[in-house]
Amino acid sequence: MTVLRRGLIACGLALALGVSTAACGSNGDPPSTSDQTDGQVTISVMGLPPATNAESRQAFLDQVAAFEKANPDIKIKPSDAPWDVKTFAAKMAGGRAETVLKIPLTEPPGLIERKQVADITVEAKKLPEFASFDPKVMEILSSEGKVYGLPESIYALGLVYNRKLFTQAGLDPDDPPDTWEEFRHAADQIAEKTGKIGYGALTTNNSGGWHLTAMTYANGGTMQDLVDGKPTATFNNAPTLEALKLLHDMRFVDDSMGTQQLRKGEDASPAFAAGEIGMWINAPQAYNSYITLFKGDPADFGAASLPQGGGDGTLAGGTVLMVTAKASDAERAAAVKWIEYSSILPSYDTAAAVTVAKARAADKLPVGVPVLPVFDQATVDKVDAAIKPYVNVPTEQFAPYVERTKDLAFVPEPAIAAQDLYAALDPVVQAVLTNKDADPAALLAAAEDQVNAILRRQ
């Protein structure tokens, strides 16, 4: 058993997690509520890591066991089925979704509008630190004064780069690109001086549209607006065209992007850790898999803010937890209790945060990777101070991201049908990177028509 696992099931953490106060108290009785006295409640929860990630999977199962021990009237059925853009809508419509949904921040508006997720206002407002949640985050998870979800993690996209390749290319790894012009120059230098891919673009599984959206925001553009009161695609605009022209010129004029252009995150991550890619768009959290899954060298990892083209903004997203509307009252209450236990408490409770940080550090897992806070600054400062002795990441290598990103606007993902919008833009990015004669304006116009047809059906 790893230290992390031991930490997760320790009674000390269980006490800190609140839900298990009775179990670790004087008599071990579960909390007394009317739902729980009627018998055992079973809920299914997303989030179990795949079998290929054995350590994390076992840690999750140990966390489930500890929760069930502390709450003997709740049975957890973990699911390793990931959120899948191609199947999720059908899964929800068919009533086959788990009780607790772990989904991207793009999904809540549509799920709330279609009444597919439960109103958890009563349960959420009973959480001790509910009032300390960042209101900007909770706004996305609320509608008409009702709460429909809770945040797990929030990120702002930036640039992840290989410091060793920067040095070999004659670039300063402590001064990464601030603008798209500097970004293009850095990619060109890396490709020319090292023979590696200067910039590795993502183009499949909706990631091409996702990153094009981030670049558009950095250029001051929008992807979707209300026109005559109706959501309308607006990405056939100068900022998006500028982003596509940059990609085209880097690919066909500079030859700094390699020859393989069909790539998703699962392809880029190991290639970046192996030193084959100089830069790609991502958030600092990429450091976790860089170290734990792909065994990258900590000294080579660098994180910067997203290069800018006049927009002074970057795309903010994340993962949120919601409860299916099909849940009964007892299932809904159990689901919120699990969400707090598994995902939220270490973000605001210093005892829980220290237990988790201490265990992660002992297991040589990253502690201290910068994230966007889901709670107010006072809560964040309190937790940061508590876990400081266990921070084991090279924080100075994240400084360019931290220092510059704080001055950028955090622009949310498109509010309606974001994944459909991203899917429509993947072929646009692919065409621009594989056909030097592609017409970006015509491609964007066709994609905009496609997305507007989808928006009219919402």
pLDDT category at 447 given cuts 50, 70, 90 is very high
| pTM, two decimal places | 0.78
pLDDT band of 23, cuts 50, 70, 90: very low
The residue-averaged pLDDT of 100-124 equals 91
Give, in order, the Cα–Cα distances in Å from 444 to each of 56, 240, 249, 431, 451. 41, 9, 18, 11, 10
**Range 78-87 average pLDDT:** 87
Each residue of 283-320: pLDDT tens digit?
999 999 999 889 999 999 999 999 999 999 999 888 99
Strand, helix or coil for residue 307? coil
Cα–Cα distance, 162 to 181 (Å, whole number): 18
Amino acid at 73: D
**pLDDT score at 452:** 96
Residue among 274, 264, 268, 267 nearest 294 (CA) = 274
pLDDT, tens digit (0-9, with 9 covering 90-100), for 200-220: 999 999 999 999 999 999 999
Mean per-residue pLDDT, 184-208:
97
Q: How many residues does the chain have?
A: 458
Q: Which of 46, 108, 51 is nearest to 77 (CA)?
A: 46
